[in-house]
Chains A and B, each alone.
Chain A
Amino acid sequence: MTYPVASPVAVTGMGVACGLGYGKAAFAKGLFETPNVFGVLRREGREQPEDETPFIGVELPDEPETLPPRLARTTTFPARVALRVLEEAWADAGLEEVDPERIGLVVGGTNLMAREQALAASRYADRLAYVPPRHGHMFLDTDIAGLCAANFPIRGFTLTVGAASASGAVAVIEAMRAIRCGDIDICIALGALQDLSAYDLHAMRSLGAMGSERFADDPGRACRPMDADHDGFLYGEACAALVLTRENFATPGKIYGHLLGAGHVADGSRGPEPDTQGQQRAAELALDEADLTAADIDYVNGHATSTPAGDEAELETYRALGLTHARINATKSIIGHGLSAAGAIEIAAVLAQIAEGRLHPTRNLETPLDPGFGWVGPEAVPHRIRHALKFSFGFGGIDTALVIAAPEDGEGRKS
């Protein structure tokens, strides 16, 4: 297969929120210090009866509200976090002087407000006549993009995309494409916070996707991507915004890295089952677009959820692509699975590691399922990333891969 080399896109701003805290500084610090942030989920609407195995995962730390109260009362939790993360990314990239009509926004994620919608449904079940009119728009996924554009001068377009756990990555891919097609110069990709309800958590556990029965009494050990004792993914609240910029478009923001190529394919699965052939195809498309081969990849940030079937299929993908020479870690081991936000915040993790010149540890990777790879285990390792490969997969047969280059390696190898 040969494809024309597509122009790279630079990342010039970031904003993040996860269990490690709000902001890039807390994120970078936490990625390398790897404090345990896993515990029993306590947010209203996620409670479990005493006699049932508690849900383990990661929740954002409480922060003082910064929005005006009049606005705050009309917004959902994912929307408030999105505004905060966007504010950080916006300031970081220095977008004040950019023509608003040349700025777009792609929000990744669907069914984002499930927890608060479930709470509202039960609160108003016996008095439907008095359902607040506001509920007619505030639980729409598109409310996040609307709120962002109402509070920041984004006048190119807004778009909300759904790709299950690959939503954040697909938001980045769609933002890249929007810049390449020429309609805009700046596109913000935002992986929104997926606010799960107890109902969703039960369903994910029943489906066999979510852990952890095995480490119910030891939450810090529950999330173990690529480890022999893994028993399912662990949810982690997260949100991240990346400011993508046309190459050579002058903005004050520093360049964190370049997106050289992307692959996004359908593998034909309907449900949660992974498909290694689809994953490989996504990686090959991304590498082709970047004009690189697997041999040029020195670092892989896995999708690596900690589910037995998912981790095994992904290992097969690494083997088939020939990635045994590359260093590999799993960001979910530190912050949990952000679902709709995962792809975006994990790309932020790749960029943070490029900036640090180190690779973050993989928590709980004690017995690698396949020791034949260059795992980053419990200790961070010095490593200058040149070309990273980032995987993100979603239920419904969605496979994505992105090739990310360090600021000084923005050109594809053969171009």
Chain B
Amino acid sequence: MDSTQIAEMIIAEIRETVPELAGETMTAADSMAELGVDSIERSEIILATMEKLNLKIPMVQLHGPKNIGELADLLLSKSAG
């Protein structure tokens, strides 16, 4: 599992959670907030990705990333730890 794969998982969850974005091209450089994903939806996407990674950590530890790629990096580091 690398960061690129996790970013792809996040993007798949975004498409699932925000049907309007289902047909959009999204990359690791995109920020969820700028894509129009609201804060509850962002939490849902992150939690669903955490479940796929079998990762159990408090959501507060995931604050900070500016885009999907940074979030993927952080989730990867938490998974490794």
Chain A residues in the interface with B (C-beta under 8 A): 68-70, 73-74, 127, 129-130, 132-134
Contacts and interface: CB of A to CB of B under 8 A. Distances in A.
Size range of the chain B interface in the assembly: 10 to 19
Given A70-B20, A129-B56, 9 more contacts: A68-B19, A69-B20, A70-B19, A73-B17, A127-B51, A129-B51, A130-B50, A130-B51, A134-B40
Contacts of A129: 50-51, 56
Contact of B44 (A68, A69, A127, A133): A133
B27 interface: no
Nearest to A71: B19
A127 B20 CA distance: 28
A73 to B, nearest CB: 7
15 contacts: A68-B19, A69-B19, A69-B20, A70-B18, A129-B51, A129-B56, A130-B47, A130-B48, A130-B50, A132-B47, A132-B48, A133-B40, A133-B47, A134-B40, A134-B44
Nearest to B39: A133
Name the residue in B40, B48, B51 with the highest tally of chain A Cβ atoms < 10 Å from its Cβ: B40
Contacts of A133: 40, 43-44, 47
Nearest to A136: B40
A43 B74 CA distance: 42
Interface string B32-51: 00000000100110011011
Interface of B: 17-20, 40, 43-44, 47-48, 50-51, 56
Contacts of A127: 51
Contacts of A68: 19-20
Name the residue in B18, B20, B47, B56 with the highest tally of chain A Cβ atoms < 10 Å from its Cβ: B47
Nearest to A72: B19
A129 B48 CA distance: 10
Name the residue in A74, A132, A133 with the highest tally of chain B Cβ atoms < 10 Å from its Cβ: A133
A73 B50 contact: no
A275 B47 CA distance: 51
A79 to B, nearest CB: 15
Contacts of B19: 68-70, 73
Nearest to B36: A70
Contacts of B44: 132-134
Contacts of B17: 73
Contacts of A73: 17, 19
